[in-house]
Amino acid sequence: MAKLYFYYASMNAGKSTTLLQADFNYRERGMRTLLFTAGVHDRGGKGMIDSRLGLQASAVPFEPDTDLRTIAEDAHFAATLACVLVDEAQFLSAAQVRQLAHLADEIGIPVLCYGLRTDFQGRLFPGSAELLALADSLVEIKSVCDCGRKATMNLRVDDGGNAIREGAQKEIGGNERYVALCRRHFMQRTGAAG
């Protein structure tokens, strides 16, 4: 039975690397995959999944109104898909998560989604919230805070390394813009500690 998986973590935990490794494993065995990534994510170029380790693969970019179900079904009926993999899954809409659940439930294609659980304010992304509610399997990929504890939060910083507390939920950036922290240090740096 195919399942909907949500692999979540803070920044710099290796989500894209893990996705690319899973894709490689399927393709090495002669199985066909379909990769999606958020259109807003363009660190390695639009429609590219890239890892900080230097791995990359082309993917279908999605926008909030992209019909993932139709794209995947068309690809599957043209030549059987063994798996659908989604990078930057936090940017999925709730409707798109339900489309992916349909692929697993009704078409029998495993769907592996990789993304952040929370934003820089410690709030769930809409796509992550829907995945946490609907996924058959929730898998946390571990990252480490500067103190050595498990990093679960994403702190947005300015050029001076100061915490940014306000702004748009979606802002693409890497190590120059985000720091993965444990909850304790996130709360201290954002002033949210009671």
Q: Is 88 a catalytic residue?
A: yes
Domain definitions of the chain by residue range: 4-142
Neighbours of 194 (CB within 10 A): 3
**What's the pLDDT score for residue 177?**
72
Q: Is pLDDT above 90 for 155? A: no
Pick the range with the lowest mean pLDDT from 34-43, 85-94, 115-124: 34-43
Q: Is pLDDT above 80 for 122? A: yes
Share of the chain above pLDDT 90, in %: 63
Q: Say which amino acid occupies 167.
A: G
User: In whole angstroms, what is the distance from residue 76 CA to residue 74 CA?
Assistant: 5
What is the pLDDT averaged over residues 97-125?
95
Q: Where does residue 114 rank: exposed (0-12), middle (13-18), buried (19+ CB within 10 A)? A: buried
What is the pLDDT averaged over residues 139-156?
91
The confidence band for 189, taking pLDDT boundaries of 50, 70 and 90, is confident
Q: Is pLDDT above 60 for 194? A: no
Distance between first and last Cα of the chain:
45
CATH class of the domain at 4-142 = alpha beta
Radius of gyration of the chain (CA): 17
Question: pLDDT tens for residues 24-38?
Answer: 999 999 999 999 999
Question: pLDDT tens for residues 54-88?
Answer: 777 889 999 999 999 999 999 999 999 999 999 99
**What's the pLDDT score for residue 175?**
56
Q: Is pLDDT above 60 for 181? A: yes
**What's the pLDDT score for residue 15?**
92
Residue position matching structure tokens 């480490």: 144
Catalytic residue (one of 28, 88, 130, 140): 88
**What's the pLDDT score for residue 47?**
77
Q: Where does residue 163 rank: exposed (0-12), middle (13-18), buried (19+ CB within 10 A)? A: middle
